[in-house]
Amino acid sequence: MSVHSSIFWHNESDTEAFAKTLVASNDLSNAIVELRGDLGAGKTTLTRYLLQALGVTGRIKSPTYAIVETYTGHDAAGKPLAISHFDFYRFNDPEEWEDAGFRDIFAAAGLKIVEWADKAHPLLPPAQFVISIEMLADESRRASVQIC
């Protein structure tokens, strides 16, 4: 079964509020969250607000070159939560899946947030949450949320 809903973000404050709600109302501690959308849609921006809502402080940079950045946040019970933020835009060597330890990260506990998941197909396990972001003409965003 999957649940769909569609929402508007007029600005980044709306994105931030959405991130807080998603974190407060779902157990993400073992989830894969896939973020879809064109270049510049707002995937990394949403990731920053998700990480902040999970208690990550400090600089959160886009993993476009490193492919993954890892963080420690905390879950609803206050326990440490491993979070990995992937951007597979430049991923093109399947051997790197093993060599860089990506397989291990997906096999372990923790939250995985993934941009450009289609570039890691078919290595990537299926996501539990798929959030698609579309930029509209006035620069607001339409987001659709699918809970798989």
Ligand X SMILES: Nc1ncnc2c1ncn2[C@@H]1O[C@H](COP(=O)(O)OP(=O)(O)OP(=O)(O)O)[C@@H](O)[C@H]1O
Rounded to a whole number of angstroms, the minimum distance from the CB of residue 67 to ligand X is: 12
Q: Which stretch binds ligand X (CB under 6 A): 40-48, 66-74, 96-104, 123-131?
A: 40-48
Question: Per-residue x/- mask for Mg ion, residues 66 to 105, rule CB under 5 A?
Answer: ----------------------------------------
Any idea of the CA torsion for 17, 21, 27, 33, to the nearest 10 degrees? -50
Q: Which is nearer to Mg ion, 108 or 131 (CB)?
A: 131
Q: In terms of DSSP H, where are the helices of the chain?
A: 12-25, 43-53, 95-99, 102-107
Rounded to a whole number of angstroms, the minimum distance from the CB of residue 51 to ligand X is: 12
Q: Which stretch binds ligand X (CB under 6 A): 23-31, 41-49, 92-100, 120-128?
A: 41-49
Chosen residue from 43, 81, 112, 128 binding ligand X by CB under 6 A: 43
Single-letter code of the amino acid located at 97: W
- Cα(81)–Cα(99) distance, rounded to whole angstroms? 24
How many Cβ atoms are within 10 Å of 52's Cβ, its own excluded? 16
Q: Strands across the sheet with 3-9, in order?
A: 3-9, 141-147, 129-135, 32-36, 111-115, 80-87, 68-74
Asked whether position 45 contacts ligand X by CB under 6 A, the answer is yes
Site residues (vs ligand X, CB under 6 A): 9, 11-12, 15, 37, 39-45, 62, 87, 115, 139, 141
